[in-house]
């Protein structure tokens, strides 16, 4: 299945779930909407739960892409932050039927994988709030940033709930500006003598979710690469090709494991394409598995991390 075709299938299923509800939508309903057989469905997704997880991943990836795409050419970091919050609300409006279905049917309870993924995204968003608050308001907010991020998160979550129920009565940018004005007042109200309520130790389990996920994916990538290098050495290939493939995988691992900067997409894609263009059938499945894990890793690192973007 091509990437474009997969997205088309996922978005069709997303609409179907939004209209009928998750529990009321059968696999037969899905394959009828897609125009494929059940066998073809199970070739791409192991279950309805697996499809739902793919839909939720697609939703969050699209949301992240929209938010991080907001231009850095704004008149100020605060203005850019306002536009990013507005994009967040606009995204909610676009998918309000699906989000309402998620709330009504308590999707986190469907499977451990969905629950874990949603918890991880909550941690990602919270970390992003902390980063952006410091970038917008400066180091003076750093002492209280966990408290301020918690308040911001609470305000946004409650307004999202209202936004979903009465979407036509809210304007995304107006609401974003209103919330940032509240943030201005909250931050101005802190005194130097006042101690924060929250500290890093209290939120450590939440804040470490993202890093744990990244570490697991890095270990998977290294294991895939080591396995492929071992297989390559066992093949009856020209020695030069063997060495080049081995070196290419070393270069790929070095690019992905570099903690000082984000992996460069063009480098990663170029190496994967080089390996694919060698047309070695016995490596095809391994390459597909490696590519999938790398995609997950690249997606997990798509947020605007300060050490990568500032």
pLDDT exceeding 70 applies to what percent of the chain? 93
Give 66: exposed, middle or buried? Use CB within 10 Å, 0-12, 13-18, 19+.
middle
The helix/strand/coil state of 46 is coil
Q: What is the DSSP letter of 302?
A: -
263: left (phi over 0), alpha (psi -120 to 50) or beta: beta
- Whether the pLDDT of residue 276 is over 70: the answer is yes
Give pLDDT tens digits for 45-94. Answer: 899 999 999 999 888 888 888 887 887 666 789 999 999 999 998 888 88
Minimal CA–CA distance to 252: which of 229, 230, 236? Answer: 229
CATH number of 47-202: 1.10.357
| pLDDT, average across residues 235-251 | 92
pLDDT per residue as tens digits for the range 110-137: 788 888 888 888 888 888 899 999 999 9
Can you give the pLDDT at residue 170?
Answer: 79
Stated pTM of the model: 0.72
- CA nearest 27: which of 5, 8, 42? 42
């Amino acid at each position: 299945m091509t990437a474009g075709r997969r997205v088309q299938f996922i978005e069709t299923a997303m609409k179907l779930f939004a209209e009928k509800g998750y529990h009321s939508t059968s696999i037969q309903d899905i394959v009828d909407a897609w125009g494929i057989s059940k066998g073809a469905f199970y070739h791409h997704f192991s279950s309805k739960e697996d499809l739902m997880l793919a839909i939720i991943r697609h939703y969050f990836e699209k949301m992240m892409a929209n938010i991080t795409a907001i231009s850095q050419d704004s008149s100020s970091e605060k203005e850019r932050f306002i536009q990013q919050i507005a994009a967040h609300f606009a995204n909610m409006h676009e998918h309000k039927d699906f989000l309402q279905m998620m709330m009504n049917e308590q999707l986190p309870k469907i499977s451990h994988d969905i629950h874990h993924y949603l918890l991880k995204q909550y941690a990602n968003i919270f970390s992003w709030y902390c980063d952006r608050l410091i970038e917008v308001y400066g180091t003076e907010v750093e002492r209280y940033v966990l408290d301020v991020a918690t308040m911001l998160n609470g305000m946004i979550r409650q307004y999202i709930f209202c936004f979903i129920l009465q979407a036509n009565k809210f304007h995304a940018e107006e609401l974003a500006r209103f919330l940032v004005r509240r943030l201005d007042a909250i931050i101005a109200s802190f005194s130097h003598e006042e101690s924060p309520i929250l500290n890093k130790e209290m939120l450590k389990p939440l804040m470490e979710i993202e890093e744990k996920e990244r570490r697991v994916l890095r270990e998977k990538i290294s294991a895939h690469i080591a396995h492929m290098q071992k297989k390559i050495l066992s093949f009856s290939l020209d020695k030069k090709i063997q060495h080049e493939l081995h070196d290419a995988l070393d270069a790929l691992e070095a690019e992905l494991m570099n903690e000082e900067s984000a992996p460069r997409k063009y480098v990663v894609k170029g190496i994967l394409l080089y390996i694919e263009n060698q047309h070695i059938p016995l490596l095809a499945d391994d390459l597909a598995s490696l590519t999938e894990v790398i995609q997950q890793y690249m997606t997990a690192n798509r947020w605007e991390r300060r050490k990568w973007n500032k």
